[in-house]
Structure 1
Amino acid sequence: MSNDRPEGFDLTRLLAERGAERYDLHTRHLNHQLPRMLRTIGFDKVYERAEGAYFWDAEGNDYLDMLAGFGVMGLGRHHPVVRRALHDVLDASLADLTRFDCQPLPGLLAEKLLEHSPHLDRVFFGNSGTEAVETALKFARYATGKPRILYCTHAFHGLTTGSLSVNGEAGFRDGFAPLLPDTAIRLGDLDALRRELKHGDVAGLVVEPIQGKGVHASPPGFLRAAQELLHRHKAVLIADEVQTGLGRTGDFYAYQHEEGVEPDLLCVAKALSGGYVPVGATLGKDWIFKRVYSSMDRVLVHSASFGANAQAMAAGLAVLSVMDDEGTVANARRTGDLLRERLAELVGRYELLHEVRGRGLMIGIEFGRPSSLKLRSRWAMLQAARKGLFAQMVVVPLLQKHRILTQVSGDHLEVIKLIPPLVIGEPEVDRFVTAFTAVMDDAHNGGGLMWDFGRTLVKQAVGNR
């Protein structure tokens, strides 16, 4: 077989010829508000390459990634083991997606995933976190014979219509009604859970053990108590670990921080992909799967055209292998503790900094109303325009001055969320804490550039009303 590149489509040449058009192409053909937003906050960078926890621009400047593609890049970018696995599976020319056979890779990946949740029995593979949640919602309804799912205020479970129905943020839901008839309760509110269960129509509760919006952990004992209440009323507990799973919080799954919790359905995605191939998985108990797939007539009652494709399965297997070999979960716990402790030491030093919380490498930094008159007036100006602007004011200089990519944790929240690749270590902790300290110094000393940018954000927020 010849090793020469086949004639025809040449991706390398296409990118060389038209890569510089990236922002204009998005403006013309995709979501036109994305490039507009990026230019407004100075995030319209051009990254040329990436590896591990870093990007590089055309000038060779490095950028520390504390966002990990919203949690997708758990192992960082272009991990060599995952990359090799994908080359191997492509070179194998497997008879993939015939739909009328049973390939080995899905079974092997399911087996490895279930080793980390031994109380669960079966897996359905889709293509994303929102698909994993949709699967759980359907399975819970069918298996229990009940129509209603409970969810938590401020939850985020995806943006397709079913998962949107259990999304606790009004900004995502507005304009997309009617949604499914589901009901929100406050995270940790067992009394509200009891009241809803008494109606007898609840199929289950879907919950993030640590909410991504704001980085709020479920109160100690809540998941265990909720599980007992749900089972008493023949309903199921659905753990959404799309962001918190696969080591993010310092255990393989975040629900494992609480003894005795064994979800009936478990949703994972994001980091399982290795950052290459979209993949989602819904793990569940045997009785649930056997009710959904109750006969040969129902063998395709829930399926996905690209679900369990060979590339996704190979990526997932490689990710789990790397995590075992490199001690990824232990590193997330150790490095996360160090980063959180270093940041928590700053709370008493800066009046705008109110709390540092989280687990493992999922950390929330919350800002709040300062006590001094000078800072209070500036804070009030931002809050009057739009809550969340101060957090954005911190995110921007972290990137522009210190080349560190972070995100505001949610709409109208004064919280920055750190979810870096789980491979970072003490050098990255030092770099972030040093940069964050400099930004806080600037904010508290009345640094002109930062507050000037705040006025720009205020004008933008008022103009969008």
Structure 2
Amino acid sequence: MSTEFDLEALLATRGAERYDLHTRHLNPQLPRMLHTIGFDKVYERAEGAHFWDAEGNDYLDMLAGFGVMGLGRHHPVVRKALHDVLDLNLADLTRFDCQPLPGLLAERLLAHSPHLDRVFFGNSGTEAVETALKFARFATGRPRVLYCDHAFHGLTTGSLSVNGENGFRDGFAPLLPDTPVPLGDLDALARELKKGDVAALIVEPIQGKGVHESPTGYLRAAQELLHRHKALLIADEVQTGLGRTGDFYAYQHEDGVEPDLVCVAKALSGGYVPVSATLGKDWIFKKVYSSMDRVLVHSASFGSNAQAMAAGLAVLSVMEDEQIVARARTTGELLKSRLAALIGTYELLADVRGRGLMIGIEFGRPDSLKLRGRWTMLQAARKGLFAQMVVVPLLQRHRILTQVSGDHLEVIKLIPPLVIDEADVERFVDAFTAVMDDAHSGGGLMWDFGRTLIKQAVAGR
């Protein structure tokens, strides 16, 4: 007879060791990085778009766990669905039956993209991309996949092959046959398609790295080019999908765009359970699964598990009942407009862009001599340090969690839970304004911290 496992007691006795445990047993650079920039906080609980530490201090989450917490943390409807599915004692993952939950979730997902017909369920965004790459190559009989410069599609070997950042790719070759093309460059796309070996173009309608939106008309024109050359369009909606940009999918901002394959993950389970979905056209799925001998030619051990499917169904229900997509659009427009209004006030603030609640704040070279000298010093040490200088006081002084949008980028990306409200918007804008005031005053704490970052950057070379 096994002894009772008491999770609460375990956390009570060992929880204080969290950073030491990571240092000894997991990625040692994570706690080192968090200590360096002062992000080594101890969060005790979370709800919606907020965290609380042991002292009861409230933190605003503008990161949403890299986008997985679309409904915020611990939404009661999703939480109840998970309790319910566990209490049902379902015969889950027998592998040789057809449970109802995957079919029901597929039906609900496909209702938002009626030109698509079938779904494969996996466990993560990178797995959704891997599925799309495999299906596109098999369906077309061609080896090469095109992707856009600066794209991010995941970090497993296949998805890494269509990753536009060398920092992630270095040392992991050889990868799949691939070719980058600039986002929005139809001529470059046409040149590659003429070679006759392209299976597909995979594209984020809004790139996560830097928050760059595809130019108006590009997706539709790219789709036409691809289909003319018997290649496929894959839309990576892992971060942009499920309402993030103010439509259910970001590709829907452009009329006439109907991708052949769509990748979904992150927010689909409300942040509780790993889950992904690759949606596609009927003929593609039927080509991959062409006979009973090929019934398991592509599968996932934990794919379609009951917890993930129940969470997904609950998330879609909440999105409909609480009008989450419209809410993200309205709140996002408010946040973006409030931030864009500051551009003329602060010379270090270069641009505010994005859609819905996916917003990029870019910093650039100032005009005044004093600030220009300090900016140049930071850029010489490592590009992206000023954005980090903004992120740190937002957390340290204002208890707001944000992120730099990518390595060597002077861009902060805001991807908060889609349930933030007007008060949260005002809190962020007030805090950001205070940080910008400090940066432009020429004094104090931000630039002192900048010197610390420069030392770290130089030492890390």
TM-score range normalised by the length of the shorter chain: over 0.9
The whole-number CA distance in structure 1 between the counterparts of 2:356 and 2:127 is: 26
1:317 pairs with 2:300: no
Pairs within 5 Å for 1:42-441? 42-441=38-437
Q: CA deviation at 1:451?
A: 0.3
The whole-number CA distance in structure 1 between the counterparts of 2:443 and 2:311 is: 46
Deviations 1:399-454 (A, max 9, x none): 00000000000000000000000001100000000000000000000131110000
Give the letter for the 1:194 counterpart. A
1:38 pairs with 2:31: no
What's the % identity of the aligned pairs?
87
Q: Which moved more, 1:442-451 or 1:123-132?
A: 442-451
The whole-number CA distance in structure 2 between the counterparts of 1:66 and 1:301 is: 40
Give the letter for the 1:78 counterpart. H
The whole-number CA distance in structure 1 between the counterparts of 2:255 and 2:14 is: 54
The whole-number CA distance in structure 1 between the counterparts of 2:94 and 2:9 is: 33
1:9 pairs with 2:5: yes
3-state SS of the aligned residue for 1:48?
strand
3-state SS of the aligned residue for 1:244?
coil
Structure 1 runs, 4 residues or longer, greater than 4 Å off: none
- Provide the residue aligned with 1:3 in structure 2: none
Give the letter for the 2:452 counterpart. T
Give the letter for the 2:294 counterpart. R
The whole-number CA distance in structure 2 between the counterparts of 1:270 and 1:451 is: 36
The whole-number CA distance in structure 1 between the counterparts of 2:194 and 2:55 is: 63
The whole-number CA distance in structure 1 between the counterparts of 2:443 and 2:120 is: 52
Q: CA deviation at 1:7?
A: 4.7
Give the letter for the 2:350 counterpart. H
The whole-number CA distance in structure 2 between the counterparts of 1:270 and 1:163 is: 16
Q: Give the TM-score normalised by the residue count of structure 2.
A: 0.99
3-state SS of the aligned residue for 1:55?
strand
3-state SS of the aligned residue for 1:442?
helix
The whole-number CA distance in structure 2 between the counterparts of 1:275 and 1:123 is: 20
Q: RMSD over aligned Cα, in angstroms?
A: 0.6
The whole-number CA distance in structure 1 between the counterparts of 2:434 and 2:230 is: 53
Deviations 1:146-186 (A, max 9, x none): 00000000000000000000000000001111111100000
The whole-number CA distance in structure 2 between the counterparts of 1:446 and 1:73 is: 37
Q: Give the TM-score normalised by the residue count of structure 1.
A: 0.99
Give the letter for the 1:14 counterpart. L
Deviations 1:261-308 (A, max 9, x none): 000000000000111000000000000000000000000000000000
1:453 pairs with 2:457: no
Q: Which runs of 5+ in 1 are unaligned?
A: 1-5
